[in-house]
Amino acid sequence: MTPQPLEALPLDVLRRRSSTKWRTYPEDVLPMFVAETDFALAPAITEVLTTAVATGDTGYTPPDPGLAAAFAGFARRRFGWEVDPARIRSTADVMMGVVELLRATTRPGDRVVTTPPVYPPFGLCIDEAGCRDEPVPLQDTGAGWRLDLPGIERALAGGARAVLLCSPHNPTGTVHDAGTLAELAEIAARHGAVVISDEIHGPLTHDGSTFTPFLAAGGRAAEVGYAVTSSSKAYNLAGLKCALMVTASDSTADIVRGLNPEVEWRTGLFGAMASVAAFAPTSDDWLDALRAALARNRRLLTEMLRDHLPLARYREPDAGYLAWIDVSAYGWGDDPAAHLLDAAKVALHHGPAFGPQGVGYVRLNFGCSPEVLAEAIERIGAVARADGRV
């Protein structure tokens, strides 16, 4: 049975939130920029956090808060992926995990392959780890995006030591297929490189696509790979600070076990509690209802763009709630989001922040109510009509 879509909270309630999404811009702006969603928490998460506050359970995170076992169960149910709980370690967030893994597997000055347009903090984390970014852009096939495997091989043959993979990809929503991931693993193995895979959007893969965890892609993936993930995107828990570093071989597990103990101490207690509740079977129905809501909005966005911004180019993402939209035909400059914030009072993420490939693009978050999404596109469409571009 297809689940009923989860309903977003009303705007008057959302504007009482104190997070980045709701405190960055004035109330006349619709915030569609940062990756926060507009839904109430899964009931199991609300229950565990409410109990913790009521009992003053706000101390240090214990050595075993149940995270590893909970995620292993989730991975088995949702992805068909068998994970050894002994090969899971936590930290505060995915980007912190990325930095620490880069520090452990590369040397200062090493080059790290990224696949722009890509999540802007990737570059910041590579810099923090003392490495250098080596972009190998995604290839636009005309029907979607794919990794440029020959380009990645050339970069690794030329001395790059790691690939920082976004899987599913942010901002395009691309889900890399198992064959592509297995080939990437073989390429990395040939050149003695590692692959660090950010898989935070995996739980939000849409029907019709299959998410393959990198470590489950076969071939040499287990030997060269590290996965970093979190409940934070699917369950809107970013402020609670909890992420997981996962390995699938003895050698990579040793690397993670060898990280400074402080890396794990940075895990937030509320984040650990909420993640255990999120990964439990009792939250599966909530996740399915969220995915149904996002699927509805994904289709609605296609329709709204057709009616109000027919010159825009947009492909429905395979995963997540982020839309990568080319609005360059409207003449709003290299960074259309800057113009639309002023002209439409809609806050979108800035395309050029994702790399040169983002010139003329915006990233829009459709993890909201259909009404808010429709109003945002109607506002932008009104700007296009006022400019004489339809």
Terminal C-alpha separation, the chain: 40
Q: pLDDT tens for residues 304-356?
A: 999 999 999 999 999 999 999 999 999 999 999 999 999 999 999 999 999 99
Residue 390 has pLDDT above 80, yes or no: no
Q: How many CB atoms lie within 10 A of CB 58?
A: 9
CATH 2.60.40.10 fits 45-282, yes or no: no
pLDDT-derived band at 2 (thresholds 50, 70, 90) equals confident
Calculated CA dihedral for residues 370, 375, 380, 385, nearest 10 degrees: 120
* Torsion sign over Cα 81, 82, 86, 87: negative
Q: How many CB atoms lie within 10 A of CB 286?
A: 21
Mean pLDDT to the nearest integer, 138-150: 96
The domain limits of the chain are 11-41+284-386, 45-282
CATH 3.90.1570.10 fits 11-41+284-386, yes or no: no
Residue 372 has pLDDT above 80, yes or no: yes
Residue located via tokens 């811009």? 25
Helix (H) or strand (E) run with residue 257 in it = helix 250-257
Across-strand partners of 164? 196
319 burial class (0-12, 13-18, 19+ CB within 10 angstroms)?
Answer: buried
| Integer Cα distance of 39 and 237 in angstroms | 11
DSSP notation for 103-169: HHHS-TT-EEEE-SS--THHHHHHHHTT-EEEE-PPEE-SS-EE--HHHHHHHHHTT--EEEEESS-
pLDDT of the residue at 388: 84
Residue 144 has pLDDT above 90, yes or no: yes
Across-strand partners of 227? 197, 246
| Integer Cα distance of 200 and 229 in angstroms | 5
Q: What is the pTM of this model?
A: 0.97
- Cβ contacts of residue 256 below 8 Å, gap of 6+? 87, 89, 101, 104, 226, 245, 247
Across-strand partners of 112? 133, 162
Instruction: Give me the chain's average pLDDT, please.
Output: 97
| Integer Cα distance of 11 and 17 in angstroms | 10
- Strand-pair category, 243-246 with 225-229: antiparallel
How many CA atoms, within 13 angstroms, populate the side-chain half-sphere of residue 251? 8
Q: pLDDT tens for residues 267-287?
A: 999 999 999 999 999 999 999
What CA–CA distances, in Å, run from 182 to 82, 133, 176, 192?
17, 23, 10, 15
pLDDT of the residue at 225: 98
| 331-369 CB burial, b ≥16 within 10 A, e <16 | ebeebbbbbbbebbbbbbbbbbbbbebbbbbbbbbbbbb
156 burial class (0-12, 13-18, 19+ CB within 10 angstroms)?
Answer: buried
Residue 389 has pLDDT above 90, yes or no: no
Structure token digits, residue 297: 């909005």
Residue 1 has pLDDT above 80, yes or no: no
Mean pLDDT to the nearest integer, 120-149: 97
What CA–CA distances, in Å, run from 148 to 16, 113, 154, 321?
44, 11, 10, 24
Q: pLDDT tens for residues 169-211?
A: 999 999 999 999 999 999 999 999 999 999 999 999 999 999 9
Q: pLDDT tens for residues 210-256?
A: 999 999 998 899 999 999 999 999 999 999 999 999 999 999 999 99
